[in-house]
Each structure stands twice: as structure tokens, then as C-alpha cells.
Amino acid sequence: MTKQQSSPEEKEVKNYQYDAIIIGTGPGGEGAAMNLSKSQQRVAVIERQQAVGGGCVHWGTIPSKALRHSVSRLIEYKANPLYRFTEKPQRHTFQDILNHASTVISKQSNLRSSFYDRNRIHLYQGDASFIDAHTIKVQHDDGSQEVLTAQTIVIATGSRPYRPPEVDFTHSRVYDSDTILSLKHNPQRVIIYGAGVIGCEYASIFKGLGAKVDLINTRDRLLAFMDAEISDALSYHFWNSGIVIRHNEEFATVEGRDDGVILHLKSGKRVKADCILFANGRTGNTNDLNLAAVGLKADGRGQLKVNGNYQTDIDNIYAVGDVIGYPSLASAAFDQGRIAAHAIVQGDSADKLIIDIPAGIYTIPEMSSVGKTEQELTAAKIPYEVGRAQFKHLARAQITGTEVGSLKLLFHAETKELLGVHCFGERASEIVHIGQAIMEQKGAGNNVEYFVNTTFNYPTMAEAYRVAALNGLNRLCD
């Protein structure tokens, strides 16, 4: 990668206000800021919103997961035989469950704000843009401006929902995954355009609240990056709950009306609903940074190219998190910020993002996976065996009434090395980490027989690993 290198003399002569400025306080910005501060760097962060936390805390990860949790508990309550309703229960609205999400958002933002105070990091509120490679202008809400300088700049501005120009997002019944949190009416029928992670999660939420949901998928299957059996399980569960999934569809126009919307599809179909959630892709937040002033250019998705140390084409400017694209996960963004901080301080970082990054999808029920899928192993001609545990056979699942789901282990048929863990069901995103811990062990430590030879608490969901391991080992040929 070609870089504009600063000479050692220039670095010594310049007297900057800070060693590093981080633009954005989401997970990536937080990871960079905290680790730089702990390395005795003078650090400033710039946040355009009134509170820290970025999209993760205020519009994305935390709100949707808090909403999902409330709806999931409501579903469990209605299904519990101890609480049979003697009269028709009051229907909960989206606004009702938003109260819980608002509380969590406030707690998370306040907690993260204390991190910056505790580490003596200077926080500036306003819009950041480049003047040159070492100088940032901060535009405050009151119209005033401030100029900050630093040796190193870290771009951690995150992403926003993609908005096709032909869709009128100013219409009161047209939402994206940010503005859906301001939903005021109580929709009886919802269209969700885009069946990716966000679309599937909100399909679960609205269906759990009793709305009719049309989920429009531009591809031929849900969440194709997941193991096929696991994504098929979600598809079946959606179908069984009454969600209408329309595969291989693309929108032609979105017709907004006073009382709802009509989605016109290129296939000729028309779908009517009280509102539409457009959740088909995201765009990096780089358009307001004045990247041209430093010679950087984002791609068509607003994303920046970086090297293994998260360094851009300009040697003192780094970028982490959603603004660089894959894997676009809050968990990975924090690690990217940490690794970038090490590279800034040490000139290089021996730490790298782990290869097998776990994926957690907070549908109802949850999905989670780490490692290879059956499709990937088959394509690579790796001999593997499969071990399965059905949740309905586990005592803990029977006790809690969460019997929908299963755990699936993929392991090498000869070495018994654990190659992939895939889980569908309640608490899947927690359960998967047991398998991840074993997968990260090297050599003999990564062996599916570990789950047979260890002792699990009983009854627990973790016991599924022993059941699945025995199931898989029993399939091996002598």
C-alpha cells in the first residue's frame, strides 16, 4: 500500500495538542482511545452526538437487543402454563417495550462516559472534518468552531443505514433501522425490506408483538453466510410463526400513503402494510469528513481501505470499525481499535483479529456460530463428522420451556479437531462461546473428546456439548 510518509524530523519538530485524536465513540473508537490512554498518550475524542457510545449504543446493537429481550420474555410469559390468562391480555405496543431499551441505552452511555473521564481523555462534542492530515475542525451545535491537532488520527465514525435515493424516507410511514426507534403508531402489519441480520431481528420483534410481517429477501435464502441447517431452522421457525418470507424479490417503488405504504416489487407483486422498515445494507460515515483534504477516498459504500494495522493510505491516519467494512461487528470493532492503538504506539502490532470471529444473530430464537460451516468443509474436501444435541432433550431446556433449538458440532473425522460450532435456540449467542474456547486451543487441546471427558453442571444448557460430542463420536467409522 502506497503511503505518504512523514519524515522523523517533521515528527520531532511539530508540537501537537494531542498524540492522538479519535473521531467517534462507538466500540472501535472506545477501544482505540482507552488503549492509547493506558499507553500514556494524550488523547482526545470527538463525538457528533450529545452522548457517547455511537450507533452501537444508541441505534443499533443495544436498542435492538433490548427490544428483542423484552419481546422474548413476553412470548415466554404468554406460553407459560402457570400464567393462563382468564381474559384477553392487553396487547403490548412497540412504545411499551421501548421503555426498557431507553433505560439500557442510558445506562450504557453513562458507563462509557465514565470510562473517558477516568482515563483523562478529552471529549469534544461536534462534527469533525479534516483540515490537513494532523488538523481537525470541530463544528459545534451552536455554530462555533474549534481546531485540534494531533500526531495521529483514528477514524471510527461507524456506519448508517443505506437509503436509496428513490425512497422517500421523510414519509411518516417509511423507516430505516435508526428511525424505527422513533415509531409512534402501533402497526398491525409491517413490511421489512432486506432479510439480513437487522431485517430478521426486527421481523422477530414485530411478530412477537402480534403484527403481521412480510419479510422481503433480495436473495434465495435467509442469512446464507450461516450453516445451511441453522438458517433453514430459522426459515422454518419464521414460517411456522406466520411470517411471510418472499425470496428473490427487489423493490421497484415505495408508495407512501397517509395510512401506510404499498411496496411495488419488480416481480409485479404489491404488498400493503401500515409501515415499511428498509433494512438493506449500510454505508460508512465518511461523507462529512472532508477526506479530500488529506488525499483519502472512500469507496462506493463509504468505506476506507486499511492494512493489517488498520492504517490507511496516509501513514498517520487509521480507521477501525464499520467504516472499514467486514466484519462490521461491535465486538470486532473494539478489538480493531485495541490493535490499532498498539500499532500506533509500537509502530506495529503483533496482535491480529482472530480468524474465527463468532456471529450472534438476535432473532427469536437466537442463532450463533463460530468456525466452518458444513458447506465450507465439503467444498474444501475436509473429512468431518457431525454431532447434534436437540434442546428438547435437555433437562434445563425442559425446565425453562425453551425447547426449540439445537447445538451442532463439526469436527475432523480423523484428528477429532473441533472445526465449527453452530447453535439455534434461546441463549445461542452465549452457548457458542464454550465451543469457541476449545477451538482457540492449539494442538491436542482442540479435541471434541474434551466435551465427553469433562464434567458439566446438571442441569444446564452447556450439557448440550457433551450430548452433541457423544452423538458425533458414535457416528465415526472404526
Domains of the chain: 8-161+283-346 (3.50.50.60), 174-280 (3.50.50.60), 365-473 (3.30.390.30)
DSSP string, 460-477: -STTHHHHHHHHHHTTS-
pTM over 0.85: yes
The whole-angstrom separation of Cα 314 and Cα 159 is: 21
The whole-angstrom separation of Cα 380 and Cα 374 is: 10
> Which cell goes with 177?
433501522
DSSP state of 326: T
Q: What angle do CA 289, 115, 316 make, to 5 degrees?
A: 35
Provide the pLDDT for residue 4.
43
Q: What angle do CA 124, 22, 307 make, to 5 degrees?
A: 165
The whole-angstrom separation of Cα 388 and Cα 115 is: 42
Summarize the chain as % helix, strand, coil (round to 5).
Answer: 35, 25, 40
Provide the pLDDT for residue 116.
95
State the DSSP H helix or E strand holding residue 337, giving kind and residue range, or none if neither.
helix 330-346
The whole-angstrom separation of Cα 366 and Cα 451 is: 23
pLDDT in tens, 253-310: 999 999 999 999 999 999 999 999 999 999 999 999 999 999 999 999 999 999 999 9
- Given a cut of 70, the residues of the chain with pLDDT beneath it are 1-13, 83-91, 478
Q: What angle do CA 132, 136, 141 make, to 5 degrees?
A: 140
CA dihedral 451, 454, 460, 465 (to 10 degrees): 0
Beta carbons of 61 and 330 less than 8 angstroms apart: yes
Q: Which residues of 224-254 are buried (b: 16+ CB within 10 A; e: fewer)?
A: eebbebbbebbbebbeeeebebbeebebeeb
User: Which residues sit in the known binding site for FAD?
Assistant: 47-56
Q: In one letter, which amino acid is 272?
A: K
Residue 276's beta-bridge partner residues?
174, 191
User: Which residues sit in the known binding site?
Assistant: 47-56
Beta carbons of 320 and 20 less than 8 angstroms apart: no
**Paired sense of beta strands 275-278 and 189-193, if any:** parallel
The whole-angstrom separation of Cα 323 and Cα 282 is: 10
Provide the pLDDT for residue 206.
96
Provide the pLDDT for residue 76.
82
Sequence-distant (≥ 6) Cβ neighbours of residue 397 within 8 angstroms? 391, 403, 405, 425, 426, 461
- Find the largest Cα–Cα distance for the chain: 80
Chain centroid offset of residue 350 CA? 25
Q: What angle do CA 55, 61, 63 make, to 5 degrees?
A: 90
Beta carbons of 391 and 406 less than 8 angstroms apart: yes
Q: What angle do CA 285, 291, 292 make, to 5 degrees?
A: 145
**Residue of 303, 308, 265 whose CA lies nearest to 286:** 303
Provide the pLDDT for residue 54.
93
